[in-house]
A and B are shown apart, each in its own frame.
Chain A
């Protein structure tokens, strides 16, 4: 039974689809919350080192601002010998100009020294973060699509490849190599707590590495303007212990499970049938079935993900129903069409999708 849930309106005017408990805010505040993005207070090796560099520049910058502001205010307000109001035409100029020393010292010498040393710090840190400290334990091909992320775990020793969307799992404390590809326009891959961003450019294979040093869920986003739903092109990086990561990966490699419980079987079987009949397979794949679409996200383990629609909604039954029925109201311009399904079809479809753990 599809139950209406408390509704925080994304589009108040649209009442034709089941009420959805959206809320994006929830994503970050509930128990399985992701850490909100920030470039200081970092949890990964690369971001840590960059934060050090950031502090150096921030502190030096604030100091320079403070000194120059004080000098300016003093220059404007310091005491001077009084001059009669009527004598404002007097000029303060003695002919020879020793004031040029200000420029030589304040404008050239001091900035040159500051810039030289901060540049040295920059070079050291740039060398540190440009490549991982040791060989990456995994390579993930991340493909930017308008407006979602696909992650493919590339492994030489496995015949089955794990493909997922908008949720990238990594082992804690291990460097992971990312190969960034674009299916359409330029995007930029950014997990502020873990590393700087790298652009995702069609025709290029940019690489970067990330390493999360504490278990947790880290908020990630597209940083390069990529069109209508650039705002809703988010993802999470889930860092877990190497054991948990390996078992997750093992499950993700599997094709979709076929349920065996007889009572629900018919509902689920009819759900798969709805999936096929309604044209979902044109865009989505579910490995282990004949759904092989490559346009939208791979749904083989949809139910294992915490978020749907590239970080737009929490993965609840109500949200999923709302997304299927009227994605265009929730994320205007998205590739997901509004599916006109009967409530019975929707119910079976949801029942089926929920088995994709």
Chain B
């Protein structure tokens, strides 16, 4: 256990360091770019005087390092300041929307991960059969159809053609969960379709890779049947690569969510981000960037820990 604890501590420390560095990059990245925030907000026709006035108002006249220190200490305490454009508190807006986004991503993950693992196993069992043909079409589809366009295809068929589901995912707080799920059906389906094929393929590859290992050969020579070999011998050893695949795709979901939220006008953090990106609202962009980076780094951290823990050599040190 002590070894596991040590690895955990190491990874968490690394994750925090990573997050600190990314926060510097996010802040500096927006800071050193040639476009001036005040100039961007006022447009090309602004007089130098008004720009200078706005810079003063936003506190942009102070050195960047001071503002970064202030921004970071506030951000750690959950205060992202106010939006330049609508003057609303960013943190409360993000908290509210992040919940919606995580719900959407979780809904998609809950369907696509078990389904992908199941289809991946089927793909190994019948590696030359019809299952494999179908899934390889799904895979090429999954990586060739842009996720936002996938959303429009679903809208075209299910919302406009057959009118089964709404094309705008209008969710609000305090909505009954069944209504909410009904509204979220098409966005979730879009995300599932976008990740399923890829995840299935990587699961299949991870297990097929193991199938050529010597201990599998032994199991086969012992006379075990294929299903038994896969479930009892290959699968436990495939946990680490599969977890990595899953986490990679959850990370992908987080990005896919941005586009899907825009397509379905779903009130999540992705839509908030895109709206304010087009308005060049620097504090919102920085805050959202930090939130996305945090989620991403945390997912990688969890993936690292789970795959470390799934390794018996680490779980039971001598």
Q: Do A and B bind each other?
A: no
Binding site for B on A (CB under 8 A): none
Binding site for A on B (CB under 8 A): none
